[in-house]
Amino acid sequence: MNIYKKMCCFLIFSVLSGQLPAQPRSLTLEECYTMARQNYPLIKQHDLIALSSRYSIENAGKLYLPQLTVSGQASYQSQTISFADVIPPLPGLMLPQLSKDQYKIQAEITQQIYDGGFTRLQKESSKANEAIQQQQLEVNLYAIRDRVTQLYFSILLMEAQLKQNDIKKADLQSTTEKTQAALANGVAYHSNVDELKAEIVSSDMNATEFIANRKAYMKMLSLFINQPIDDSVVLTWPAPVLPQQGIHRPELTWYDVQKKAVDVEEKQLRSNYLPRLNAFLQGAYGRPTLNIVDNKFGPWWVGGVRLNWSLGSLYSLKNNRQLLNINRQNLDVSKETFLFNTYLSLEQQNQDVSKFAELINQDDDAIALRTSVKKSAQAQLDNGVITVHEFISKLNAENLAKQSRILHRIQLLQAQYNYKNTSGN
């Protein structure tokens, strides 16, 4: 019971003092993809593109609001109508005379009634342009995955090589201790111990290089995901993925939305030669008024409907349609080229997956043989049959085989994820 109380007190004290070991924080490759996308400065364009499109659509909708135009004019003309020239003089009749200086200030309100679908197509065009920009942004953001993948697997490679280097160093230290004991008993040379120690120093140098490279890669990955990464963060080894058929890259959607934008442009061609109908109301003040006989300042107004029908666009309609068809064909060619190049990359990456998988199997056979040779060399060294130099040669051969397997294992996983990213699956 006293032991139980002591354990409880120790745990409570450890929690309060923060002495319990902190749990390492794990980080996966998919999490890095997500955080890198969210942190990349280009992601801010998403909202800006949407906001710009919303304003464009709102502006297009306001074309159906009443439009107010105000104008003014003051003029002097060399001649006006002379009623005396056309009406015979009559006793007691005073014919009016129009002033050569004339003034007018006018306001006109127009209301669109029919615009041939121009406003609706303006909205569709704004939405199509937004879709193109948003998808282009997706294409640019997708490219981040390749850079994150390279950094992530580079860190895993440095960590795995560092662990294997530590194993080699442990073997060297164990052999050094045995050789020092043999030296003390007069059955070994001092140069044997020095040679083993020199090999340990070489392992330490390799470890320094692995650690420095790992630190550099972690700093770059940390900048990408905007999260601190230190020795307390454990990068999880990604699960192997099987290649899947088909391509689902954002570039394909980008080509499709561009073709939809071309369809909207073709509709706008038809809209250009349709008539426009609007209602108007004019109000004015000036001299003369609509009653030109009365040469005085005064107000007047005019209301009605106005039809505008410009057929000039028909001259270039056929050529414009041909240009749009050429644009569609260019998009089809670009899409076909992208698919062709992507399939070539996938074929190469698929071959890489098969190659590294086969190399790993060969690495296993090589490691088994090298380990057997090293164990035999260890026994021979203990019995004084071979020299330390010969043992180190066998040990390095085994270590090289294990390092090769580590490299091929990382390369296999990276090839699988390169295939996954290239196919968009």
Which DSSP symbol is given to 82?
B
- 404 within 8 A of 370, measured Cβ to Cβ: no
**Residues of the chain where predicted confidence (pLDDT) is lower than 50:** 1-21
pLDDT at 243: 76
pLDDT at 270: 87
Q: Structure tokens of 130? A: 């937004």
- Say which amino acid occupies 232: S
Alpha helix (H) residue ranges in 143-189: 144-184
pLDDT at 8: 44
Residues 6+ apart with CB under 8 A from 396: none
Give the DSSP letter string of 317-358: HHHHHHHHHHHHHHHHHHHHHHHHHHHHHHHHHHHHHHHHHH
The most distant pair of C-alpha atoms in the chain lies apart, rounded to whole Å, by 159
pLDDT at 23: 58
**pTM recorded for the entire structure:** 0.77
- 299 within 8 A of 283, measured Cβ to Cβ: yes
pLDDT at 24: 62
Strands 276-287 and 101-114: antiparallel
- Say which amino acid occupies 292: I
How many residues are recorded in the chain?
425
305: which strand partners? Answer: 279
pLDDT in tens, 264-312: 988 888 888 888 899 989 999 998 888 877 888 889 899 999 988 888 7
Q: Structure tokens of 377? A: 């060399």
